[in-house]
Amino acid sequence: MTTEQTLLQFHDGRKIPQLGYGTWKLGTDIAEAAVAAALETGYRAIDAAHIYFNEAQVGKAIAKSAIAREDLFITSKLWNNSHGHEAPKPALEKTLENLKLDYLDLYLIHWPVPRAEKYVQTWEALIQLRDEGLAKSIGVCNFGIDHLQDLLDSTGVIPVVNQIELHPGFQQNELRAYHRDHDILTEAWSPLGQGTLLQHPDIVQMAQQYGVSPAQLILRWHLQNGHIVIPKSANAKRIRENFAINSFKLDDASMAKINQLDHADGRIGPDPARFNIVEEI
């Protein structure tokens, strides 16, 4: 990596930048410019997905950046309509074509889709794709403890990462403890609670105390908890702001205060146990 970013090591020995750039909700009209701004800022990890419908624009920004492939860390995700033994390979090939890449650094199953009962087969397919070199590392998103345990019991292969909804308002302590016990890194999606936490009085007060923005304070809380974090912003100024979080450190009291913002019902996105949509929404 060319920048001075913290790297976290997966149990398979490979490393990922702890701070990456998320591309969810970037429209096709702005995605290329936004990713270009992120790469220009210094982000080297880009989190994409088939279902974001902007992989082609993400790929253009990557290609135009002329950053060496080995200096980038590109993640994408298999959508719910491609579960099973056979469908993942063509899905990954399509993603690679869109991104104009020969391989991904990380390929993730986007949701377990429990009603389809195919996530174990899908995981077996991803193991094969990893062995073929199309994805250097493999992991999952939105898997609960039962789903992760199923993968482990059936294949003996643990995902390197589980990307989950995670922010101060929804901290998933039990799931994170399972991750720690099983060498799975925790990656936070919607790390800012989709912006909903930025006006919280405690967050605002602590941000003032540290002389940083509320977003920077929350992202720092993630880093100090060892999470991989992928804030998204369509705005070049905020893209830079979210990258500039290495010049301060939260003390234990501040970390504890943010920990107290956890709510059992703080989930903003879908509940993975009930999210069974297989269409391209």
Task: Sort residue 209 into left (φ over 0), alpha (ψ -120 to 50) or beta.
Answer: alpha
Is 234 one of the binding residues for ligand A2P (CB under 6 A)? yes
β-pair partners for 8: 16
| Binder among 241, 243, 254, 258 for ligand A2P (CB under 6 A) | 241
Q: Which of 91, 92, 215, 223 touches ligand A2P (CB under 6 A)?
A: 215
**What stretches of the chain adopt beta strand conformation (E)?**
7-9, 15-17, 21-22, 45-47, 73-78, 104-109, 135-141, 161-165, 185-189, 228-229
H helix count then E strand count, the chain: 10, 10
Contact 79, 109 (CB under 8 A): no
In whole angstroms, give the CA distance from residue 123 to residue 185: 17
Among 23, 98, 137, 233, contact with ligand A2P (rule: CB under 6 A) = 233
Q: Which helix (H) or strand (E) holds 172?
A: none
Asked about 43 being catalytic, the answer comes back as no
Sites for ligand A2P among residues 162-201 (CB under 6 A): 190-195, 198
- At its nearest, how many Å lie between ligand A2P and the CB of residue 263? 15
Which residue in the list 52, 107, 119, 178 is annotated as catalytic?
52
Nearer residue to ligand A2P within complex by CB, 155 or 209:
209
Compute the least distance from the CB of residue 240 to ligand A2P, in Å: 9
The CA distance from 143 to 230, in Å, is: 18
19 binds ligand A2P (CB under 6 A): no
Give whichever of 19 and 215 is closer to ligand A2P, judged by the CB atom. Answer: 215
230: three-class secondary structure by DSSP: coil
Residues from 99 through 158 that contact ligand A2P (CB under 6 A): none
Q: Does 269 engage in binding with ligand A2P (CB under 6 A)?
A: no
- Contact residues for ligand A2P (CB under 6 A)? 22, 190-195, 198, 213, 215, 231-235, 238, 241-242
Enumerate the active-site residues: 52
